[in-house]
Amino acid sequence: MPATSDNDILVKFEEHLSRRALSSSTIVNYLADLRTFRRWAQQEISAEFSLLQVNQEHIRRYRHHLAHTLKRAASTINRHLMSLRKFFTFATGLGIIPADPTAGVALVQDNELPASKILTRAETEKLLQTAANGTRAGLVRRDVAILQLLLQTGLRISEVVDLQKDDLVFDNPGVCLQVAPGTAQFRKIPVSGELRKALSDYLQVRPQSATGSLFLSQDGRAISKRTVQRIISHCAKSAKLSGVSAQSIRRTFAVNLYAQTHDLELVSRRLGHQNTSITEQYLAPHTISAAKNNFAGQPAPVGRSATGTNIGVQLTTDIDRHF
């Protein structure tokens, strides 16, 4: 039963909150947060912007705006995000919108502000070596492929688990990944070098399954975001590395790609950002300097585990300009 305007939706939401016996001040705060978000979107995205048009990237941009432009505390950012989450859960339940745009957008932690840690080359090599020497033989190639993918492409965890086997496209002049097809974040990412080898090794042992998901569990089911988080956490802990997360890996990729290319538009495309202003704020100058110090003058290390798995790290940059 779709509503005809944002005001109609907000009235229905207010009635819903009232039926749940929430205090009047709580209801006022929920509605104020929603209107604040809509005003921001009408200024930054479109003067005609409607709550019916919200997608996941809008939520991420707003979170970034609260954290880096307004420099709000984590607790304040999370309050805004929870207000949006409550509203869009309600709207999805009524069928007003087809999907909840807040799904997959994480709350922030106090230690995420300021920017998360940048891994050194030695740390990334140690992380990959630990994965390659894992004790779960059937999953070693999968875990190495996932870590290589995160380190060399900067994909979000949600984008990794959403990848389909058919998204790995073999075409001239090479191999590419189609990321987030059908969304505003759609992009083609080149696959070469050690990442191509890691994916090829994994596909040789990928379980037979009716599901089209690229990454599977041992019993042939699509993996979850929590599985990817566990892989990162387990390998980091085994390697005795602190501060390693999906966010720190993504930031490491972005900072090092920019340090190598000085091409802001390239980094923005690879990260799936909607504009370069987001990327510019994402790449803190002191962090870029640190990446140069960590990586300058060092050839990309390439090694092998005891099982023969390649564990080198390389960033593909020039071929990306063709996509």
Give the CATH number, domain containing residue 205.
Answer: 1.10.443.10
Burial status of residue 315 (CB atoms within 10 A of its CB: 0-12, 13-18, 19 or more): buried
The answer to whether residues 314 and 223 belong to one domain is yes
Give counts: helices (H), strands (E), the chain.
13, 3
- Per the structure, how many domains does the chain have? 2
Structural domain contains residue 1:
no
The model's pTM is: 0.63
Flag whether 317 is in a domain: yes
- Same domain flag for 231 and 125: yes
More confident residue, 112 or 264: 264
More confident residue, 116 or 323: 116
pLDDT confidence bin for 129, thresholds 50/70/90:
very high
The two tokens of residue 15 are 């009635």
Q: Is the pLDDT of residue 307 over 60?
A: no
Domain that holds residue 195: 121-322
| 35, 142: one domain | no
Q: Rounded to an integer, what distance in angstroms lies between the CA atom of residue 102 and that of residue 55?
A: 8
Among the candidates 112, 133, 157, a domain finishes at: 112
Both 271 and 154 in one domain: the answer is yes
Residue 304 has pLDDT above 60, yes or no: no
| Domain membership flag for residue 73 | yes
Q: Tell me the CA distances in angstroms from 108 to 44, 88, 94, 114, one per residue in order.
A: 22, 19, 28, 11
Residue 173 in any domain: the answer is: yes
